[in-house]
Amino acid sequence: MTASNEPAAVPLSEAHLESVAPHADRAPSYLSAGHTLRSWLLTQDHKRIAVLYLISISLFFVIGGLAAGAVRVELIKPRGTFMSSELYNRMFTLHGVVMIFFFLIPAIPAILGNFLVPLMVGARDLAFPRLNLLSWYLYSAGGLLAITAALTGGVDTGWTFYTPYSTFYSNSQVTMTIAGAFIAGFSSIATGINFIVTIHKMRAPGLTWFRLPLFIWAHYATSIIIVLGTPVVAITLLLVVAERVAHIGVFDPRYGGDPVLFQHLFWFYSHPAVYIMILPAMGVISEVISCFARKRVFGYHFVAGSSMAIAVLGFLVWGHHMFVSGQSMYAGMVFSFLSFLVAIPSAVKVFNWTATIYKGSVSFDAPMLFAFCFIGLFLIGGLTGLFLASLATDVHLTHTYFVVAHFHYVMVGGAISAYFAGLHFWWPKITGRMYPEGPARLTAVILFMGFHLTFLPQFVMGFVGMPRRYHYYPPEFQTMHILSTAGATVMAVAYLLPVVYLLWSLRYGKRATANPWGATGLEWTVPSPPPTHNFDTVPVVTGEPYGYDEADAPLPVTDSVVSATMQATGGKTPGGTA
C-alpha cells in the first residue's frame, strides 16, 4: 500500500533521531507561522484548522451546556420553575441539536483527529488541506444557522425531527435548523474523506496497517461510518424539508407515505452516529492507557479489529430505536440480536484496556484519570444498553429517563471523558505548554462524581416510569430530579475548571518538551508545538507501536532511522514530569 513511499527515496542519512530534539531554533512552530487573523482564517495547516475547530466547538459546547443547565433548573419543581412548556420543548431540542451535531460528532475527530492523524502517520498534512479548511467553514455556517434558528424562535421537535410532527404540525424553525444540520453534515463528510485518503495513501515508509496507532484505527473506522451514514441522514432531512416547504410528501401518511420509513432512514445514520462519537474516544483511551501503564496495548490486533467490527455492526442495529414504532416483531427480534452483538467488540476493548493496565507501571496523571472515568462510565452506559436491546425490557424502558441516562453515560460520560483525556494528553503537543496537573486531576474526580450524581437518579426514575422529555411530572419524582440537577451543577464546575487552567497554562504553563510523557508514536518525535510541515525528514518506521516494555532496553532501530517505538524517550516516566 505504501509502494509510492519507497524508503529508498528518503535520504536516510538525514532522517535520524535529531528530529526528536526540541530544535525550536530551526523550523518555526505552526503557531508562530503567522500572527494575523488572515493567517488563521485562510490557513491550510491541519494543526491550525484543528485549533479553529477547538475554539468553535468549545463555543457550541458552552451553548449546549447552558441549554442543559436551563432544562435541569426547570425540572427542579414538578410543574416547572421559569419556562413555558413551549420554551421547555425548544430548550431540550436546542440542547440535543447543538450537543450532537455541533459538539459530540465533530469534537474528537475534528480537533484531535485533525491535529494528530497526519502527525501519527508521518505525513506533512492531510491529503486535501483546502477541503479541510472548507469543512471548518461548513461547520461554522451550519452552526450559525442552527443558532440563528434558536434565536428566532427555536425548534420544538427534539433533535430527532420525527415526522409528521416536524413536517406538518410543528410551528417552529424546523427548516432552518435542519439546514444547519445538513450543512454541518457535509463538514463531517469532508473530514471523513480526508482521513480515509490520508490513512490509505500517506502513511510513512514502514508504517504498515498493523503498526498504526489504535487512535488511527479508530478514526479510520469512524470515517467509514461518516462516509456511509451521513449522506443518508442528509437526504432524509432534505425530504423532510421538501415535505414541509413544498408539500412533496414522502413520509406523509395522508398520501400513503409512512412515517416509520423516516425513522428507518433517520436511525440508519443516527445510530451509527453514536459510534462516530464513541469510536474516536476509544482511540484516545487506547493511547492514554498504554502510555500511563507503560505497557504495550494488550491484544493490539483485537482492539484494532474491534473498531472495524463496531463500525460494521453499528450499521445493522438501527431498528432497536423502533421496537415500539410499529415495525415488524420479527424485524425487532433480528435487531435485538444484532444489538447484543455490538457488546462483543465493545467488551473486547474494555477487557483489553484492563489487561493493559494489569501489572503495568501505572501513574495517575490527569489523562489517565480521565481515561479511568471513561472506562467506568462507558461500562455502565454499555451494559445498560443491553437492557434496551432486549425487546421485552425495552418496551417498558423506552421513552423513559432510563434511555436518557443510558445514552448520556455513553455519549457524555464516555465521549467527553475521553475528549478531556485526549485534550490533556496532547495539550503540550498542541500548545507547547504543560497544563497544571493538580487542578486537572481534581477536575477528573469532580467530573466523575458529578456525572454519577446527575445520571444515576435518572436510571432509577426512568425504571419506575418517568417519561423522557416531559415538562411536568408527578411530585414523587422530585427528589430524583433535584439530585440530578445538583449533579449537573457539580459537572458544570468540572467543565469550567479546564477552561480556566488551560487558558492559564497558555501563558504561565511550563514549557513542554517534545515528549513530556515519554510516549511512543510519531507525533512525539517532533517538537512541541510542531513546525508547520510536521517532519523535517520523512520518518521511517521499523517497529510495532506501543513499545513501552522496551523503553529501557535497546530497540530494533538503526541509528539512521526514527522508530515509532521511540527509543528517544530515554525511558522517562510520566511521573517524573508531572
Partner 1 sequence: MSAEIAHAPALHHEHLSHQFEDIEQQRESYVVGMWAFLVTEIMFFGAVFLAYTVYRVLHHAAFYEAHKQLDIGLGTINTFVLLASSFTMALAVRCAQVRSRRGQVVFLGATLSLAGGFLVIKAVEYSHKFAHHLFPGQAFHYPDAAIADQARLFYSLYFGATGLHAIHVIAGMLVIGAMLVRALFDRDAKQDYMPVEMTGLYWHFVDIVWIFLFPLLYLIPK
Binding residue for partner 1 (CB under 8 A) from 230, 307, 352, 458?
A: 230
Least Å from the CB of residue 200 to partner 1: 5
**Binding flag, residue 5, partner 1 (CB under 8 A):** yes
In degrees, rounded to 5, the angle at the alpha carbon of residue 577 between the alpha carbons of residues 556 and 285 is 65
Distance separating alpha carbons of residues 483 and 460, to the nearest angstrom: 11
Find how far residue 312's CA is from the centre of its chain: 18
At a CB cut-off of 8 Å and minimum separation 6, what does 466 contact? Answer: 400, 401, 473, 477, 480
Cis before 529 (ω within 30): yes
From the list 180, 183, 140, 186, the residue with the least C-alpha distance to 159 is 180
Is residue 239 near partner 1 by the rule CB under 8 A? yes
Nearest CB to partner 1, comparing residues 242 and 486: 242
Residue type, 192: G
Binding of residue 536 to partner 1 (CB under 8 A): yes
Q: Give yes or no for residue 254 binding partner 1 (CB under 8 A).
A: yes
Least distance between partner 1 and beta carbon 198 (Å): 8
8 Å CB contact between 419 and 108:
yes
CA dihedral 257, 259, 264, 265 (to 10 degrees): 70
Report, in Å, the least distance between residue 467 CB and partner 1. 30
Which is closer to partner 1, CB of 126 or CB of 423? 126
CB of 13 to partner 1, least distance (A): 12
Q: Which is nearer to partner 1, 257 or 518 (CB)?
A: 257
Q: Sign of torsion, CA 96 419 489 499?
A: negative
The DSSP bridge partners found for residue 467 are 400
Residue 229 engages partner 1 in binding (rule: CB under 8 A): yes
- The piece of 58-66, 248-256, 468-476, 490-498 that touches partner 1 (CB under 8 A) is 248-256
Residue from 120, 250, 421, 562 that binds partner 1 (CB under 8 A)? 250
- In three-state secondary structure terms, 29 is strand
Does the footprint of partner 1 cover residue 540 (CB under 8 A)? no
In 300-361, where do the E strands start and end?
Answer: none
C-alpha grid cell, residue 333: 427480534
Question: Under the criterion CB under 8 A, does residue 231 sit at the interface with partner 1?
Answer: yes
Number of residues that this document lists for the chain: 578
Crossing angle of helices 85-97 and 174-201, rounded to 10°: 10
Q: Does 227 interact with partner 1 (rule: CB under 8 A)? A: yes
Angstrom distance (rounded) from CA 306 to CA 332: 25
Q: Is 13 in the site for partner 1 (CB under 8 A)?
A: no
- Of 9-17, 104-112, 316-324, 442-450, the segment contacting partner 1 by CB under 8 A is 9-17
**One residue of 16, 77, 201, 396 binding partner 1 per CB under 8 A:** 201
| Binders of partner 1 in range 16-45 (CB under 8 A) | 26-27
Among 65, 192, 345, 385, binds partner 1 (CB under 8 A): 192
Closer residue to partner 1, CB minimum distance, 192 or 280: 192
Q: How many Cβ atoms are within 10 Å of 68's Cβ, its own excluded? A: 23
Strand partners, 511: 433
526 contacts partner 1 (rule: CB under 8 A): no
Q: Which stretch binds partner 1 (CB under 8 A): 252-260, 388-396, 499-507, 551-559?
A: 252-260
Secondary structure of residue 433 in the 3-state scheme: strand
The Cα 91–Cα 83 span in angstroms is 9
For residue 412, what are the CA distances in angstroms to 151, 154, 445? 25, 23, 15
CA–CA distances in Å: residue 237 to residues 101, 168, 178, 330, 511: 13, 14, 6, 28, 47
Q: How far is the CB of 29 from partner 1 (least distance, A)?
A: 11
Q: Does the CA dihedral 69-74-76-81 come out positive or negative?
A: positive
Q: Check: CB of residue 414 under 8 Å from CB of residue 281.
A: yes
* 251-259, 316-324, 548-556, 558-566 -> range binding partner 1 (CB under 8 A): 251-259
Q: Among 14, 56, 48, 271, which residue's Cα sits nearest to residue 160?
A: 271
Binding track over 261-290 against partner 1, x by CB under 8 A:
x---x--x----------------------
Letters for 100-119 (x = contact with partner 1 by CB under 8 A, - = none) are ------------------x-
Among 175, 390, 478, 537, binds partner 1 (CB under 8 A): 537
Within 124-183, which residues bind partner 1 (CB under 8 A)? 124-129
The residue count for binding partner 1 (CB under 8 A) is 57
Q: Is residue 247 a contact residue for partner 1 (CB under 8 A)?
A: yes
Amino acid residing at 187: S
Does position 232 interact with partner 1 (CB under 8 A)? The reply is yes
Stated as kind and residue range, the H or E segment containing 74 is helix 46-74
Least Å from the CB of residue 100 to partner 1: 20
Closest CA to 170 of 151, 185, 157: 157
Half-sphere exposure of 447 (CA within 13 A, CB side): 32
Find the shortest distance in angstroms from Cβ 118 to partner 1. Answer: 8
Least distance (Å) between residue 378 CB and partner 1 = 29
* Nearest distance, CB of residue 125 and partner 1, angstroms: 4
Q: Does 85 bind partner 1 (CB under 8 A)?
A: no
Smallest gap, in angstroms, from Cβ of residue 194 to partner 1?
A: 8
Q: How far is the CB of 353 from partner 1 (least distance, A)?
A: 30
State the nearest-atom distance from the C-beta of 245 to partner 1, in Å.
10
Roughly what angle, to the nearest 10 degrees, separates helices 300-313 and 214-246?
10
Find the shortest distance in angstroms from Cβ 44 to partner 1.
9
Quick check: 202 binds partner 1 (CB under 8 A)? yes
Q: Pick between residue 255 and residue 508 the one whose CB is nearest to partner 1.
A: 255
Rule CB under 8 A: which residues touch partner 1?
4-5, 9-11, 14, 26-27, 118, 123-129, 189, 192-194, 196-198, 200-202, 227-232, 234-236, 239, 242, 246-250, 254-258, 261, 265, 268, 531-533, 535-538
